[in-house]
Structures are given as structure tokens and as C-alpha cells.
Amino acid sequence: MWLTRLDRDVEERLPGALALLDGAERARAERFIVPRPKLEYILSHAMVRRALAESTDVDPRDFVFRDRQFGKPEIAAPAEHAGLRFNLSHTRGLAACAVARGREVGVDVEQTRASISILDIARTVFSPGELEALSRAPEEAKPGFFYALWTLKEAFMKATGEG
């Protein structure tokens, strides 16, 4: 598991991060109109390449990706590392990357917001059992419980390639 801050030393880290991306990633980054999401995209995708490089001893620039079913990326080259699985998640100010061998992997990070109605959202995405567990949680623990369950569900969906 790798984490990187997307809200600190961004300008200083940008040239090194941009140098790791391939042509398609740089082209996609250029299509961003708003500067902050563009920087977050560059830094988070460079982190994925660094994480894969640390897991394989391959230069981070040598990875080539392709999309699997549902758009989940996988390693196309180097071919000997095609079975290595990875997943990326980011939220304002933070990115996470999970890497695994021999199994699917998913990760999710979320920025907590006091302004949302967690019960309204939970009713639309949680199972009856999950809703019951949330309702039994002490009032002060409900936001933490909600976000823990939400990120677990999101990570699972991303691991299966459905989310």
C-alpha cells in the first residue's frame, strides 16, 4: 500500500512525476482544464508507477497499461509482470495505491464531510444489515462507521472491477 499527499510540495514534485508518465497519460493530463485535478492526476499516476517499480525492480517508465473489463487498468508490459494487480484511489489531497500478486486488489480513500447526510446516503447504498449496524452505533461513532463501511464497499467493488 502506498499513499501520497496531493496537497503538499506539488509544484516541486511535478516535473519528476510528469517524467514518469507515458504519452497517453501526459495527453490525458493536458486535457484537464482545472489545475488542481490535473496536478492530482499526474502525482497519483506517477505514484502508481513508482509502486509497481518498487514491487518489481522495473523502471517506472517501462510499464504499459491496458484496460480490462469495466475499464480497470492492468499491466500489458513488461509481460512477466502482467499478473501483478494494482488499484488507485484519490480524494482531495490524498491518493492511495494498492499492489498485490496473484489476487485482485481494490483501495478507496474518501474525504470526510460533515455537511452530508450519512443516513440518506446509507439508505441508498447499504444493505439492511449494514443499515441496522449503523443505526446501533453510538451517535458520535456513526460518521466513522459510515466512512469505514463505505470505503470497504468501494474497495471491494474496485477489486472485482465493477466499481
pLDDT tens digits along 33-51: 999 999 999 999 999 999 9
d(CA 108, CA 97): 9
Considering only CA atoms, which of 163, 71, 66, 59 is closest in space to residue 108? 163
Q: Which residues contact 123 (CB under 8 A, 6 or more apart)?
A: 131
Domains of the chain as residue ranges with CATH:
2-101 (3.90.470.20), 118-160 (no CATH)
Q: What is the pLDDT of residues 4-36, one digit of tens each?
A: 999 999 999 999 999 999 999 999 999 999 999
**Bridging pattern class, strands 84-91 and 64-67:** unpaired
Please state whether the predicted TM-score (pTM) of the whole model is above 0.85: yes
